Structure 1
Amino acid sequence: MTHPRFLSFSRNGHHGYGLAVEGGVIDLSARHGASWANLRDVIEAGRLGQLAEEGKALKPDFALDEIRFEIPIPSPEKIICVGVNFPDRNEEYKDGQAAPSNPSLFIRFPRSFTGHGEALIRPPESPQLDYEGEIVIVIGKGGRRIAEADALSHIAALSLCNEGTIRDWVRHAKFNVTQGKNFDRTGAIGPWLVPYRDESQLADIKLETRVNGEVRQSDRTSRMIFSFRKIINYISTFTTLVPGDVIVTGTPTGAGARFDPPIWLKPGDIVEVEADGLGILKNTIADEVL
């Protein structure tokens, strides 16, 4: 079964959104931009299902190779990321501590991400650009203190993330990782926004990261320390979740920092993040042009 695949794109100076179908892209923004400027607005209006159904009767307006991918939600109110959410990741820290009782969280800014097919940018301040393949959930129905039993009903859609990190900059201060997680265009989200249907889409799917074709990370969501239900429940305890909020849910073991010696990403490398039903997020690496 092919799931609807929404995307945000730019083409000839125009920013839009659409549906990827056989033969290209249906430009939904050309048809509905006056009502919903972007996919965040579509989600807030609860119209993903309607537009997916409408797309079944439409032909593509242009080919995929005519567009540049952008992050699916162009201006979310919040991007919240979960750290240390797979058992082997916890063991990597070698601090003798059991898995934590609550998730570690940090914030990323939208401009720290780029789209599928674009280059992740290695800044001149550090060569330690690393990859982290993760699954993204996008909130469709907002709420505060959302019960675990109800949490999945608050998801609108799913996507993939390469939560790229400048490793030495996450150690610049005693308690925070913000700096190393927010260099411009060091991460990517995409390529698709896949509407959420039911728990089978998330319960036990394979998540894999490859660098130049070599598998570096591979695990299954059933092994996550904090479930998708728990993550939504916990975050919504202290902040009100709103439609379009992006939650990046944690990476398996195998990032470049954990090799001896570490293996950092370098210009020309190709990184692919893949998960069942969500496609492949693919990016190259380039040095920042000053």
Structure 2
Amino acid sequence: MRLVRFGEVGAEKPGLIDDEFRLRDLSGEIDDLAGEALSRAGLAKIRALDPKSLPKTDPNQRLGPPVGGTRNFIAVGLNYADHARETGAEPPEEPVLFSKATSSIAGPRDEIVIPHGSTQLDWEVEVAVVIGERCFQVSEAEALDHVAGFTLCHDVSERNWQKERGGQWLKGKSAPGFGPLGPWLVTTDALSDPGRLDLWLDVNGRRMQAGSTADMIFDFRTIVSYVSQFMALEPGDVVTTGTPAGVGAGMKPPVFLKDGDIVTLGSEHLGEQRQMVSAQSR
């Protein structure tokens, strides 16, 4: 299934994209794509519905992040060897974890506003897992049983804040709009091999990143299990799993986003995002 949330910021409704790519309204069946609705039982209830029985709705409405109620937004750094090399780092022996503020979560087509003081705004296309069942200290074998599905994440990063402001990546990863998710939450049963998803990102029509989840150092099972050794992941939590090479900071000379830039990113099975970059008005 391809599940979405649509509507104005803070008032999103749950929806479904049917096989003909029509937007269907799920709000008569569930309150939100959050909590219990993301569990195995909750998704089975949605899966049992006839999509044609659901009301069609305006496809031009804003799409919000395809998951609600997120308490933890966890990210994995340096999880593609080519990206580690372009940053000058050695591939890690264990997953490198950091947090993004949940207030950074945005819709897939929402504007990216350059915060005051930002000088090195960078891009990162990633695949994120959305947790459907509470998991704490789960094994790799059972890790994906706790995952509701997969979605695109744009891990927008302010490199100066990330690297030069005390070594805490959270600072460069958490401004409002720095975590676009979507357009869809693709449930695990709809992906035959999430370990081979293509990824790409363009800036102003120029291809900057092209990769595959097959190149991840730590796969999805490993990551979910690993994170769960240190914290309990709850339904609606998001774990974004790293980016391939091609970020602006890795170019010679470095290239960063500026006012008026258009970023598009996507994957064949996970859809596409598009964001305009805008300077913050005073």
Instruction: Give the TM-score, by structure 2 length.
Output: 0.92
What is the CA deviation profile of residues 53-104 of structure 1, one whole-angstrom value per residue up to 9, with x for unaligned ones?
A: 3142325432211x21111223311110000000111112335x4x221111
State whether structure 2 residue 55 is matched by structure 1 residue 53.
no
| 1:260 and 2:255 matched | no
Q: Which residue of 1 aligns with 2:127?
A: 135
Distance in 1, Cα, partners of 2:9 & 2:134 = 34
Candidates 154, 158, 171, aligned match of 2:150:
158
Aligned AA for 1:51? I
CA distance in 1: counterparts of 2:250 and 2:42, whole angstroms: 42
Cα deviation, 1:120-174, whole Å, max 9, x if unaligned, reads 1111211321110000101112221111111122211110011001110012444
Q: Which of 87, 91, 102 is 2:85 aligned to? A: 91
Partners of 2:77 and 2:242 within 8 A in 1: yes
**Distance in 2 between residues matched to 1:191 and 1:12, nearest whole Å:** 14
Q: Which moved more, 1:169-178 or 1:116-125?
A: 169-178
Structure 1 residue 39 corresponds to structure 2 residue 34:
yes
Aligned pairs (5 A) from 1:199-238 = 200-238=192-230
Q: Which amino acid aligns with 1:129?
A: L
**What amino acid maps onto 1:16 in structure 2?**
K
Any idea what the Cα deviations from partners look like across 1:31-63, whole Å, max 9, x if unmatched?
Answer: 034xx3443441147322322331423254322
Structure 2 SS opposite 1:54: coil
Q: Is the 8 A contact 1:40 1:73 kept in 2?
A: no
What's the counterpart of residue 104 of structure 2? 112
CA RMSD of aligned residues (A): 2.1
> For 1:243, which of 235, 256, 267 is the aligned residue?
235
Is the 8 Å Cα contact of residues 3 and 16 (structure 2) preserved in structure 1? yes
Shift of 1:276: 2.9
Match of 1:63 in 2: 58
- Mapped to 1, the partners of 2:227 and 2:241 lie a distance apart of 12
Determine if the alignment matches structure 1 residue 147 to structure 2 residue 145: no
Q: Which region of structure 1 is more displaced relative to structure 2, 197-206 or 169-178? A: 197-206
Paired AA for residue 81 in structure 1 = A
Structure 1 residue runs of 5 or longer lacking an equivalent are none
| Counterparts of 2:26 and 2:95, CA distance in 1 | 37
TM-score by length of 1: 0.89
Give, in whole Å, the separation in 1 of the partners of 2:48 and 2:262. Answer: 35
Q: Per-residue displacement from partner, 1:253-276 (whole Å, max 9, x unpaired)?
A: 111111122211122222122123
Number of residues paired by the alignment?
Answer: 281
Specify the SS of the correspondent of 2:208: strand
How far apart in 2 are the matches of 1:72 and 1:114? 10
| Residue among 15, 24, 27 paired with 2:25 | 27
Query: Which SS does the other structure have where 1:203 is aligned?
Result: helix
Deviates more, 1:42-51 or 1:176-185: 42-51
Alignment-mate amino acid for residue 177 of structure 2 = R
Percent identity between the two aligned chains: 32
Whether 1:80 aligns to 2:77 is no
Name whichever of 214-223 and 246-255 sits farther off. Answer: 214-223
The answer to whether the 8 A contact 1:8-1:73 is kept is: yes
